[in-house]
């Protein structure tokens, strides 16, 4: 029988406590702080958003003739493509006087788009359109329209953008107008002529 070979143990290190071990003081303090923060959060009074006084359940009492309609860039563009007179088509849809309103952000967006939208820009400078100054400094037009609708709730938002329509639907009491076929349709306003049946 041959002699058994003894191999030397190589790079043997001493066992060290893991930094995640619960015996480490720093971890115990962090866990204690976390528990305290959780307890404070549970006991603190909750902030409840004040209900809008204009809403009677889902019905908005601030909406009434003459209707103020916030108009988006693509709504103007599609109206021109479909050869619709904006003010007349709105009056046919809502069966009342309508005042199309344009914010500074929408106007800025139309000016940025350049020569292709020259007709739309000329149309918005018509005397029948009301210009509304907005407090936001050159932000995205969709954000501006959503903020205006949420803040005042006396507007109907006219847009053909599906994403913006989805955002407007989340705001209770604000109807949305869009183009369907060759006429305007309005959502969440059962008394309107153009409301979907």
pLDDT tier, 29 (very low <50, low <70, confident <90, very high otherwise): confident
**Confidence at residue 8, expressed as pLDDT on a 0 to 100 scale:** 65
Sheet holding 155-158, edge to edge: 130-132, 98-103, 67-71, 155-158, 176-180, 183-187
Structure confidence by residue, pLDDT tens digits, 166-192: 999 999 889 999 999 999 999 988 778
* Least confident among 25-39, 49-63, 129-143, 174-188: 49-63
Q: Look at residue 110 and tell me if it is in a domain.
A: yes
* Number of domains within the chain: 1
pLDDT tier, 104 (very low <50, low <70, confident <90, very high otherwise): very high
CB 193 within 8 A of CB 180: no
**Confidence at residue 13, expressed as pLDDT on a 0 to 100 scale:** 67
Q: Look at residue 73 and tell me if it is in a domain.
A: yes
Q: Between 113 and 137, where is the model more confident?
A: 113
Is the pLDDT at 2 greater than 70? The verdict is no
When pLDDT is averaged across residues 103-111 and rounded to a whole number, the result is 93
Q: Look at residue 2 and tell me if it is in a domain.
A: no
Q: Look at residue 124 and tell me if it is in a domain.
A: yes
Q: Look at residue 37 and tell me if it is in a domain.
A: no
**Residue 88, CA atoms < 13 Å, CB-side half-sphere:** 5
**What CATH number did the domain enclosing 95 receive?**
3.40.50.1010
**Residue 155, CA atoms < 13 Å, CB-side half-sphere:** 23
* Cα separation, 36 vs 30, whole angstroms: 10
Q: Look at residue 41 and tell me if it is in a domain.
A: no
When pLDDT is averaged across residues 28-53 and rounded to a whole number, the result is 86
Kindly provide the b/e burial profile for residues 129-151, where b requires at least 16 CB atoms within 10 angstroms of the residue's own CB.
Answer: beebebeeeeeebbebbbbbbee
Domain of 117, in residue numbers: 63-187
Is the pLDDT at 27 greater than 90? The verdict is no
Q: In percent, how much of the chain has pLDDT > 90? A: 57
Among candidate residues 78, 86, 93, the one with its CA nearest the CA of residue 187:
93
**Confidence at residue 1, expressed as pLDDT on a 0 to 100 scale:** 59
Is the pLDDT at 123 greater than 90? The verdict is yes
Q: Look at residue 7 and tell me if it is in a domain.
A: no
When pLDDT is averaged across residues 17-32 and rounded to a whole number, the result is 78
Sign of dihedral through CA atoms 18, 24, 29, 31?
Answer: positive
Q: Look at residue 10 and tell me if it is in a domain.
A: no
CA-only gyration radius of the chain, Å? 31
Is the pLDDT at 142 greater than 80? The verdict is yes
Structure confidence by residue, pLDDT tens digits, 43-101: 888 887 787 888 877 788 888 889 999 999 999 999 999 999 999 999 999 999 999 99
């Amino acid at each position: 029988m041959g002699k058994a070979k003894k191999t030397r143990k190589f790079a043997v290190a001493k066992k060290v406590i893991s930094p995640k071990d619960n015996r480490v003081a720093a971890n115990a303090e962090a866990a204690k702080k976390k528990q305290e923060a959780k307890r404070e959060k549970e006991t603190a009074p909750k902030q409840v958003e004040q209900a809008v006084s204009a809403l009677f359940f889902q019905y908005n009492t601030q909406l009434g003739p003459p209707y103020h309609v916030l108009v988006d860039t693509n709504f103007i563009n599609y109206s021109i493509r479909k050869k619709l007179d904006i003010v007349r088509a709105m009056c046919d849809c809502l069966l009342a006087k309508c005042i199309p309103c344009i914010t500074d952000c929408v106007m800025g967006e139309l000016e940025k788009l350049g020569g292709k939208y020259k007709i739309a820009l000329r149309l918005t400078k018509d005397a029948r359109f009301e210009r509304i100054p907005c407090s936001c400094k050159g932000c995205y037009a969709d954000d501006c329209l959503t903020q205006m609708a949420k803040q005042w709730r006396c507007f109907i938002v006219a847009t053909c953008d599906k994403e913006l329509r989805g955002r407007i639907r989340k705001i209770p009491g604000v109807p949305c107008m869009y183009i369907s076929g060759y006429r305007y349709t309005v959502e969440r306003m059962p008394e309107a002529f153009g409301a979907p049946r």
